[in-house]
Chain A
């Protein structure tokens, strides 16, 4: 998908040029960054001032040539933050709403969707009787069954509490890794969701794209720290589960060595995604001894990004992965950190929250 968009409302201007391939492309930005406008323009619900949208070589929107394919012909299954289920229909009727419009070749087996999303027990219910998480699962199923070329998800988990969020995230991971393999444009302001789900990340700030690329690259870019928020920034790396110990810790292999982490439920041999928060990584010139932290990795300083505030973001080469650490500028000076320096990164075992570990 290729999207160019320019749209003004009031003093705010959205101006972006982005690509989305297979897998999940996450569009991240704070509230008011113009994320929903992007979804609405792609879905065809909004006519931008100027814009171009091409999908699979088909032009769905081109203001210069006066092309505006109406929403019902675009085949973008859309899941909104407010599930928007039809209140006069049952769950089953909601699910079946779009099937009659799905092109023959794009039909998704109904039973597969119902079992993937765990909807079997809900089929006879009315939307008003569903919980928030159930509503979003039905909305997702409904979008899948309309035979879309791509899914658009506009903050689908934002109105859910943490427990409901954890209930939905695995379904989205199955969707990403499962047999359907639909491309998804996923809009969110929650870093934990995008680090767990996205393959590609687009950072939006004040209506413009501040960074875009593979999730791992963008998350490992120290310049992206202020965009994501200093408390949320952190590298995303891949690990393999090696073993589970009786005391609740699991051993995971990363390219720079082994990590001992709690709360890992994936089976031995599974590849998982780890999000290591920049603020939870400490640096040491010497190899620390007698420390309570279990995870100490030898790393090399790759880049130092000094912001306007008292903090600095340090990119660290750890094996073939890049980690991010956030320390004070005073510490950078005191430790005399420069690119190329061989140091040690200390990770507390509790720093990797279970929810940040994706399949």
Chain B
């Protein structure tokens, strides 16, 4: 049971895609989580539904929608192509698929953390002279930081394991879009590939389990921090 060059390439690509997806998605997810937790506006339910859609939609449908929107000749794809960013059948497209699929998990973790912060603390900070931005950086952010990390870890794990939307949107190109789960699937298509598949699957399990445990630990830290016992 050895990991060959293709397997290592798949792992490297998966990590690369997951890191990018996490870095891009965290600020966006935080903004959306904030809006959902703290603002009342027309269309809030719709935004909430759209954010959570990838969680319940068949991943192949999500991938198909991405393909329709971001193919080089589609409107969004053409616009991005004009600034030199191609997504279809590229690792960048795998990043987009990972962002979309991991987004609901991130938003959920961050929203819970934001909702746990009593706005009265922020009011108190304002009466002491802190502007909105200062209140956020000095009171809210430190209190929800573990929640943001928990969301990031969940998003990272999801990005490592994303399969359906990715293969539909960017196909299965070794070294470009063949991430860890796609490599497992490919190995299973080849007679005698079960050994490699098993090794890769084990690797996936370790990454996923580690991420969930870390996320749980961080979520407990949120509760502890807000209770003031750390």
- Chain A residues with CB under 8 Å of chain B are 43-45, 70-78, 80, 82, 84-88, 97-98, 100-102, 126-128, 142-143, 146-147, 152
Contacts and interface: CB of A to CB of B under 8 A. Distances in A.
Interface on chain B toward A: helix, strand, loop, or mixed SS?
A: helix
Given A86-B121, A97-B138, A72 B225 contact: no
A86 B125 contact: yes
A242 B226 CA distance: 53
Interface string B205-230: 00000000000000000000111111
Contacts of A143: 127-128
18 contacts: A44-B126, A70-B132, A71-B126, A72-B129, A72-B135, A74-B127, A78-B127, A84-B118, A86-B125, A87-B226, A88-B142, A97-B130, A126-B228, A128-B227, A142-B128, A143-B127, A143-B128, A146-B128
Contacts of A87: 121, 143, 225-228
Interface on chain A toward B: helix, strand, loop, or mixed SS?
A: loop
Nearest to A80: B124
B143 A71 contact: no
A78 B122 CA distance: 12
B228 A88 contact: yes
Given A45-B123, A71-B123, A88 B225 contact: yes
A101 B123 contact: no
Nearest to B118: A84
Contacts of A82: 120
B55 interface: no
Interface in B101-150: 118, 120-121, 123-132, 134-135, 138-139, 142-143
A69 to B, nearest CB: 11
A97 B137 CA distance: 12
Given A84-B120, A97-B138, 15 more contacts: A44-B127, A70-B131, A70-B132, A72-B131, A72-B135, A77-B128, A78-B127, A87-B225, A87-B226, A97-B125, A97-B128, A101-B130, A128-B228, A142-B128, A143-B127
Interface residues of B, number: 25
Contacts of A78: 124, 127
A72 B130 contact: yes
A78 B124 CA distance: 7
A134 to B, nearest CB: 13
Contacts of B138: 97
A137 to B, nearest CB: 15
B227 to A, nearest CB: 6
Contacts of B130: 72, 97-98, 101
Nearest to B131: A72
Nearest to A146: B128
Contacts of B120: 80, 82, 84
A84 B123 CA distance: 9
B229 A128 contact: yes
A87 B229 CA distance: 8
Nearest to A71: B126
A72 B124 contact: no
B125 A43 contact: no
Contact of A127 (B118, B129, B228): B228
A70 B126 contact: yes
B127 A101 contact: no
A135 to B, nearest CB: 11
A45 B227 CA distance: 24
